[in-house]
Amino acid sequence: MEAPPGDGGGGTSCRLEFAVQMTCQNCVDAIQSSLRGIPGLQVLHIQLDSQIVLVETSLSTEKAQSLLESTGRKAVLKGMGGAVPESFGGAAVAMMSGLVLVQGVVRFLQVSPQSCLIDGTIDGLEPGLHGLHVHEFGDVTGSCDSCGDHFNPYGECHGGPQDVHRHAGDLGNILAGADGRASFRMEDNQLKVHDIIGRSLVVDAGEDDLGHGSHPLSKLTGNSGGRVACGIIARSAGLFQNPKKICTCDGVTLWEERERPAAGANKKAAGQPTPHL
């Protein structure tokens, strides 16, 4: 069985636009110095007056943000795009929530006509492997049960991400560590961002057998158990497409909102909406 995706370097690069709290040239110099020479990450541009840092990276968004904040400054992701700007083909985000304290954020970026980059962090999971799938409906009125079946426009049987015959929504497994956090970065050659906006992303209670098991559900769902979290996949900002500094949901500033992450040690209880820019 193939290994679940990790959050380290390697694979396709993309560009991430961060808002970073900077007050003077010393802040700029500190960021440039701290991030210089880090494998898989290059600082492309820092704009002090608008507090913007643009990086190109093959690291996960969580890792890139952590590196920026290791300089002692708060950072918030504002947009993402392809490493080659003209190849940008759309971005989307799913704000995940579900049972108990399962919450997270998963982002999708069309980095080429053939490849969709999926980057996410989900907290509150039981340690171990969990199936991850795009489902056909963006309906969470009946919790995750109303999301429908796996997104399967071609009428295929269930499989793994590397299989020729698979549901388009089959993304394999993600691995939650002992702390309940699953951080992942993967590329998929069947998903297209424009096809999944308005649908949903679901994480399951158990491991997806990728259609290789003997259980009757293996070729239907991967026999990965019940649904523990889900989120509607919505269009999100590309590079330099998000000018907001105050969240329209409750009027808090971008930096105040940073203290209430959707995923992390300080995440809010499940069922409470998490404002985002």
Write out pLDDT tens, residues 242-269. 665 544 444 444 445 455 555 555 554 3
- Domain membership flag for residue 162: yes
What's the CA gap between 258 and 261, in Å, rounded? Answer: 6
- Domain membership flag for residue 33: no
Is it the case that residue 217 has pLDDT exceeding 80?
yes
Q: What is the predicted pLDDT for the residue at 248?
A: 43
Is it the case that residue 12 has pLDDT exceeding 70?
yes
Domain count, the chain: 1
- Domain membership flag for residue 24: no
Helices (H), the chain: 25-35, 61-69, 193-196, 254-258
**Long-range contacts at 109-114 (CB < 8 A, ≥ 24 apart):** 109/14, 109/80, 109/81, 109/82, 109/193, 110/82, 110/192, 110/193, 110/194, 111/12, 111/14, 111/82, 111/83, 111/87, 111/187, 112/12, 112/82, 112/87, 113/89, 114/189
At 36, the pLDDT band (50, 70, 90 cuts) reads: very high
* Partners of residue 260 on adjacent β-strands: none
Other beta carbons within 10 Å of 113: 10
Q: Which domain holds residue 143?
A: 87-235
Residues 126-149 have a mean pLDDT of 95
- Domain membership flag for residue 46: no
What's the CA gap between 249 and 275, in Å, rounded? Answer: 6
Angle at 80 between CA 171 and CA 144, to 5 degrees: 40
At 272, the pLDDT band (50, 70, 90 cuts) reads: very low
Q: How many helices (H) and strands (E) does the chain have?
A: 4, 13
- Domain membership flag for residue 14: no
Residues composing the chain: 277
Quote the radius of gyration of the chain (alpha carbons, Å).
18
What's the CA gap between 92 and 78, in Å, rounded? Answer: 12
Instruction: List, for residues 106-121, the tens digit of each pLDDT value.
Output: 999 998 888 899 999 9
**Structure token pair of residue 125:** 């999971």
What's the CA gap between 177 and 192, in Å, rounded? Answer: 29
Residue 97 near residue 271, CB atoms below 8 Å: yes
Q: Name the average pLDDT for the chain.
A: 85
- Domain membership flag for residue 199: yes
What's the CA gap between 55 and 9, in Å, rounded? Answer: 14
Pairing, β 227-235 against β 115-123:
unpaired
Read off φ and ψ for residue 99, nearest 5 degrees. Answer: -65, 140
Higher pLDDT: 81 or 179? It is 179
Residues 30-34 have a mean pLDDT of 93
- Which stretches does DSSP call E strand in the chain? 14-20, 41-47, 52-57, 75-82, 91-98, 103-112, 115-123, 128-135, 141-144, 170-176, 182-188, 200-204, 227-235
Instruction: List, for residues 53-93, the tens digit of each pLDDT value.
Output: 999 999 999 999 999 999 999 998 888 888 765 555 689 99
- Domain membership flag for residue 204: yes
Q: What CATH number did the domain enclosing 179 receive?
A: 2.60.40.200
- Domain membership flag for residue 157: yes
Reported pTM:
0.80
